[in-house]
Structure 1
Amino acid sequence: MSDNFDAEWLQLREPFDGRARSVPLALLLADALPVRPRIIDLGAGTGSLFRWLAPYVGRTQIWTLVDSNAALLDRAFDDIAEAADRVGWTVTLPKPQIMLVHTPVGVWRVEAQLADLAEAPGNLKLDQADGVVSSALCDLVSHAWVARMAAALQVPFYAALNVDGHEGFFPPHPKDGLVARGFRRDQTRDKGFGGRALGPAAPAVLAQAFRAHGFSVTTAPSPWRIPAATPAMAEALADGHADAALRALPRALAPTVEEWRKARQLQAARGALMARVGHADLLALPPATPKPTRVIN
């Protein structure tokens, strides 16, 4: 994966994120929320999780999109408005940084909050939230960050698309192991959250931390499957792996990594490169919440 969270990368990955996330787990979250839920979205970016999850919540709801990048939050409002227009919904802007999406099942209010996520949860209004959600965030954070969040929350916590370490490119390449080794090292470097990033340990660390505070935890697989028919995504994924490997491996190995990159780029251009990236979605429900009745397969 890539650490490049610019709008173009987020747009490219959005359909793959949407197909990967567990719908049953999203419905479990929807069942656990009150009639008119207030939801905080951490690392919201361009609003991809809102666009995917809000229809499953399926009623009047209030979202606060939190990100440290003002440009992405601005783009989120544009993208949400465009998505609403495509299905014939009306959007109004009563105040700056507040959007109302008028849907057949109720009004969805969207607000933006510019904040440094490394300081969370201290800079979040958790007492005003009925649920805290995120997507592709928690494998970047540290053990300490998760511990603080689990200790502070008394509402459902939903974390989608946490990498689990099970991934690969197809067809195989002789240097896949080398690039994968560098990529795994880079996954756990400090990403600005006060310590080494969790990387593939994220699902287990999240589950342990929330269970220690009495939460019931449910997980579901949510792998990316990148077919050969999507060359732009396949190439971007290979480039991200190569960039990460170059950061983590000795400089003497850089020519080998670049050879791997060129080979994968050529395969992608020919429509011959496929990939799978393992993820897990997680839902932690506080002790007072009734146990889920839906079954996760």
Structure 2
Amino acid sequence: MSDDFDGDWLQLREQFDSRARSVPLALLLAEALPVRPRILDLGAGTGALFRWLAPYIGRTQIWTLVDADARLLERAFNDIGEAAEQVGWIVTLPKRQVMLIHTPVGVWRVEAQLADLAEAPGNLKLDQADAVVSTALCDLVSRPWVSRMAATLRVPFYAALNVNGHEGFYPPHADDRLIARGFRQDQRRDKGFGGRALGPDAPREMARAFRAEGFRVVTAPSPWHIPAATPNMAEALADGHADAAGKSLPPVLRARIEAWRRARQLQAARGALVARVGHADLLALPPSVAKTALTIN
């Protein structure tokens, strides 16, 4: 896997991720899990999905955080431990890369696994998992990757915050379409998962792949709403779009891209830049589980 992710960016986006994810879909997953579930978190980063989802599962659980970046996994343990202690829970570290969080609803065990997700699922211990989960991962992967995962899994697959192509910055700018075109091209380049990335096609392609294997698939919208009152996030989002467009579009357009960036940076600094990024959450339930799971409203 070639793309790297900055821990500070993951921290910046965490509050927006938390607000965007579908709670009904998370509760549907929780109901589909056994009493003491074992959860494999792919591309876990700093552990943000664990911090959000574990309380909805609400009972004793075992998580394995999988990532290709050892620094992010180390930060995940630090951030998870600090968050637990802030609410008064006891945290113990019985051995290296294992954390126990003693909560009122049971002990939450967190482990770490360093792995290249481009090789998944072959390098994962899927027979030891009751669910495979992820956040903002599956729009980076390729169609063959998703097909392999769907063909291999016999447990629920939950993928949150997959981009769907519905996004925009406000107020409008004359070069918004130019930036969007370059950004979309960058979304679809090979991100190291053995083929072109799914990008905004991820929700549709995942649903197709898992349904073909007999899974019941449920989706829910999970858009980011970036208000003008959060200038750091708005500016970071605009910078990311400009960087991606600069990589994808011809050099002759560089001046227009940078002019768009400067305009958006100025708007963000003035508290006048608003953005929306469309996402979709997806839950795929295998036939044995789908028969007993509730229908999402």
Fold match, TM over 0.5?
yes
1:158-169 residue pairs with structure 2 within 5 A? Answer: 158-169=158-169
Identify the residue that residue 75 of structure 2 maps to in structure 1.
75
State the alpha-carbon separation in 2 of the partners of residues 228 and 152 from structure 1. 44
SS at match of 2:265: helix
RMSD: 0.8
Kept in 2, the 8 Å contact 1:24–1:294? The answer is no
1:40-59 residue pairs with structure 2 within 5 A? Answer: 40-59=40-59
State the alpha-carbon separation in 2 of the partners of residues 105 and 144 from structure 1. 39
**TM-score if structure 2 supplies the norm length?**
0.98
CA drift of 1:236 comes to 0.1
CA drift of 1:281 comes to 0.1
The question of 1:20 aligning with 2:20 is answered yes
Kept in 1, the 8 Å contact 2:64–2:111? The answer is yes
Kept in 1, the 8 Å contact 2:28–2:296? The answer is no
Query: Cα deviation per residue 1:24-56 (whole Å; 9 max; x = unaligned)?
Result: 000000000000000000000000000000000
Query: Cα deviation per residue 1:87-136 (whole Å; 9 max; x = unaligned)?
Result: 10010000000000100000000000000000000000000000000000
State the alpha-carbon separation in 1 of the partners of residues 172 and 94 from structure 2. 53
SS at match of 2:92: strand
CA drift of 1:294 comes to 4.1
Kept in 2, the 8 Å contact 1:169–1:273? The answer is yes
Identify the residue that residue 60 of structure 1 maps to in structure 2.
60
CA drift of 1:86 comes to 1.1
Identify the residue that residue 97 of structure 1 maps to in structure 2.
97
Identify the residue that residue 145 of structure 1 maps to in structure 2.
145
Query: Cα deviation per residue 1:148-193 (whole Å; 9 max; x = unaligned)?
Result: 0000000000000000000000000000000000000000000000
Identify the residue that residue 241 of structure 1 maps to in structure 2.
241
CA drift of 1:295 comes to 2.7
State the alpha-carbon separation in 2 of the partners of residues 189 and 257 from structure 1. 19
Amino acid in structure 2 at the alignment position of 1:50: F
Query: Cα deviation per residue 1:64-105 (whole Å; 9 max; x = unaligned)?
Result: 000000000000000000100111001000000000010000
Query: Cα deviation per residue 1:209-241 (whole Å; 9 max; x = unaligned)?
Result: 000000000000000000000000000000000
Identify the residue that residue 156 of structure 1 maps to in structure 2.
156
Structure 1 spans left out of the alignment, 5+ residues: none
The question of 1:251 aligning with 2:247 is answered no
Structure 2 spans left out of the alignment, 5+ residues: none
Identify the residue that residue 294 of structure 2 maps to in structure 1.
293
CA drift of 1:4 comes to 5.6
Identify the residue that residue 183 of structure 2 maps to in structure 1.
183
Q: Percent identity?
A: 77
Identify the residue that residue 195 of structure 1 maps to in structure 2.
195
SS at match of 1:107: strand
- Report the CA distance shift for 1:66/1:4 in structure 2 as closer, same or farther (over 3 A): closer
SS at match of 1:279: strand
Amino acid in structure 1 at the alignment position of 2:135: S
**TM-score if structure 1 supplies the norm length?**
0.98
CA drift of 1:292 comes to 3.2
SS at match of 1:293: coil
